[in-house]
Every structure is written in C-alpha cells, then in structure tokens.
Amino acid sequence: MPRTTSAPKNFLSVLDLDPADLDRCLQLSAQMKAERSLGREAPTADVLGGRHVAMLFEKASLRTWTTFEIAVRELGGNVVDLLPDVSLGRREAVADVARSLERWVDAVIVRTFSHRVLE
C-alpha cells in the first residue's frame, strides 16, 4: 500500500500525526472495519508480515490487550507477550527496556498509568 505522507517513527500521541496522516489513518480504519464486518480480508492483511510487536501493559485491561493482540495478528504480525514482571521502571529503567526492545521488535504497544513514562 503506497504512502503519500510520512508518519512519525514514534507514535505516542494522535498529536504526532499531521492532519493528512490522521485523516488517512481514520479512512483506512473505517475501510478495514467494513471489510472485517463483511468477512473479507482487509487489503492490509500482511502489512506486519514477518514483524514482531511487543506488548507491555503496566495497566492491565482484558479488552485493550485482546483487541491489540487480534489486530497485530490480523495484520500478519507476531505478538511478543511480555510478562508482567517486565514492568516499566521496576526491574529495569524505562530507557533500558526501550533500548533492549528496539533491538528485537519492530513495534511496541505500551499501556501505562502515565503518559510521561513514554515521553
């Protein structure tokens, strides 16, 4: 799928997207949702093919965890489930966790109590 704009490498906030990228993202998500409801494979079904996405949840949530895991798999990616003891800033500093993960995974999904942890 060709890109017409350049999205940021690190996505921490919707404010990181320019209006064109945000609009494209919302349009694509609506298209994917419509295709899914019709039982069809989305045109992005392999966009994460061969890529690994780690999920780190400081703040547990069944719905958020499940929807992200399904989304990564439906986009063709592999989910790396990090254990709860790999918490941000507990056993290892947040910066150390980030440096380690950037070597092995293509993306990280983080749910934390404070947005400042990510910044």
Tokens of 45: 């079904």
Give residue 5's pLDDT band: very low, low, confident or very high (50, 70, 90).
Answer: very low
CB 117 within 8 A of CB 59: no
CA distance 108 to 52: 9
What's the confidence (pLDDT) of residue 3? Answer: 43
pLDDT at 1: 40
92 vs 69, residue with greater confidence: 69
- pLDDT-derived band at 87, boundaries 50, 70, 90: low
Contact of 59 with 113, CB cutoff 8 Å = yes
Domain 45-119: which CATH number of 3.30.70.270, 3.40.50.1370, 3.40.50.1820, 2.40.50.100: 3.40.50.1370
